[in-house]
Amino acid sequence: MSLSSMRERRSRKKTKPAALNLVSLMDIFTILVFFLMLNSSEVEMLETSDSIRLPDSTSEKRPEDRIIISVSADDLIVQGRRVASVKEALRSSGPLIEGLKTELEYQADRRKRSGRDFAGAVTILGDRNLPYELLKRIMTTCQHAEFTKIALAVNQVSGEGV
């Protein structure tokens, strides 16, 4: 092949300049920005169900790692395990809720055996309309099971206008 025929072949091929597709790059950066926005928050999120509406608070202090007791309209749940129904807890005679006490003693023993520091700390996630009698029984049961540092979970709101 001669040099002139090669030049003709090149001139026939119209070469486009290389282009950069920015759509994919923008999609990646958008996803990255949303990921960073969601995960850069300093607010601690506790797992709650839709049936529990927490009360509001203006406290700035954050809770420490604790055993979680969730109280919905129907059930008492410790660390994700159902231990009693609310009806049973309110009907029981005496100040203690036996299913709750058994589970808390198990959790305390498990933490002590694993070598973790047992501080006797528990957080109660209860609906804002929780009957006081039930809350009192839960707190009494916690104290009998060596959980004396009791915190109540609330929604944090700004202190202005409250």
Q: CATH 3.30.420.270 in the chain, residues?
A: 56-156
pLDDT at 152: 83
pLDDT at 156: 64
pLDDT, tens only, 7-35:
666 666 666 676 777 777 788 888 888 88
Rounded to whole angstroms, the Cα distance separating 153 from 150 reads 10
Q: How open is the CA angle 105-106-112, to the nearest 5 degrees? A: 90
Tell whether the model's pLDDT for residue 38 goes beyond 70.
yes
Placement of tokens 């709101």 in the chain: 157
pTM: 0.58
Per-residue pLDDT of 83-138, as tens digits, reads 888 888 888 888 888 888 899 888 888 888 877 777 888 888 887 788 888 889 99
Q: How confident is the model at residue 59 (pLDDT cuts 50, 70, 90)?
A: low
CATH of domain 56-156: 3.30.420.270
The answer to which of 36-40, 77-81, 100-104, 138-142 has the lowest mean pLDDT is 36-40
- Please report the DSSP string for 52-112 in residue order: --PPEE---PPP-S-EEEEE-SSEEEETTEEEEEHHHHHHSSSS--HHHHHHHHHHHHHHH
43-55: pLDDT as tens digits? 555 566 666 666 6
pLDDT of residue 128: 78
Query: What span, in angstroms and rounded, lies between the C-alpha atoms of 105 and 90?
Result: 21
Confidence at 58, pLDDT banded by 50, 70, 90: low
